[in-house]
Amino acid sequence: MQVRLEGVLLDVWSNVYPPKRSTKMLIKNMDISSGAVVLDLGCGTGIIGLIALRRGARRVVCLDISVRACRNALENFRMNKLVEMVDVVVGDGSSCLRDASFDMVVLNPPMTPSPRPLPRYTWGGIDGREFLNRHLHDVPRLLKSNGQLLITASSLIGIGWVAAFLERHGLRVRLRGYELVKCGRLLRQLMEHIRSLSHASLVYLSDEPYWLLAVIEGRKKA
């Protein structure tokens, strides 16, 4: 299917993570300095990188473990005539990237906790924290001095836990925004498991369960 977001025309292939609420929250809070070099870590369709270029970034690197997602992203850069300003990399994590390479890293990680596998772009492992435990510690080394990480976090994995993780790895942290999100069909099916996780929290409004979605900024000290 095709969608248009922030003036960008986007092809969304099957089995590739489409732009959702979390994507739109990142875009809303993404302040790009002119000439910045940006990493979209887990790029999906490439929408973050495309908008970063439209807002003044000089270069974008899109990285995803999914070959299909990388092909989809590359096609979207071609379609928007920005393919010469992007490098699309297939990889599981950022170990293939050089130290202090980026002014900004944007990350919308898979965070859905489930005892059974889900699509890779949404499944955060049994506790929802698997991807972040494997990869988040590596992000600070990728940032230039005063570089910025912009990341989504949910109350299902612990927003405070993500913030504390970043602080332990040397970043200055602040909350950029948050929204309450009503639990959909999948989370309702997983409700017994979610309630068994000591770090997961829900908000109930009129007996309906909601979770909290936040955007956190981590800034590398100069």
Closest CA to 106 of 163, 159, 173, 38: 38
Q: Can you give the pTM of this predicted structure?
A: 0.95
CATH of the domain at 57: 3.40.50.150
Q: Is position 201 within any domain?
A: no
Per-residue pLDDT of the chain (222 residues; tens, 9 = 90+): 898 888 898 999 999 999 999 999 999 999 999 999 999 999 999 999 999 999 999 999 999 999 999 999 999 999 999 999 999 999 988 888 999 999 999 999 999 999 999 999 999 999 999 999 999 999 999 999 999 999 999 999 999 999 999 999 999 999 999 999 999 999 999 999 999 999 999 999 999 999 999 999 999 988
Q: Is position 114 within any domain?
A: yes
| Contact indicator for 155, 202 with CB cutoff of 8 Å | yes
Q: Is position 189 within any domain?
A: no
Tell me how far apart the alpha carbons of residues 63 and 55 are, in angstroms, rounded to a whole number.
Answer: 20
Number of domains the chain contains:
1
Helix (H) or strand (E) holding 88, with range, is: strand 86-90
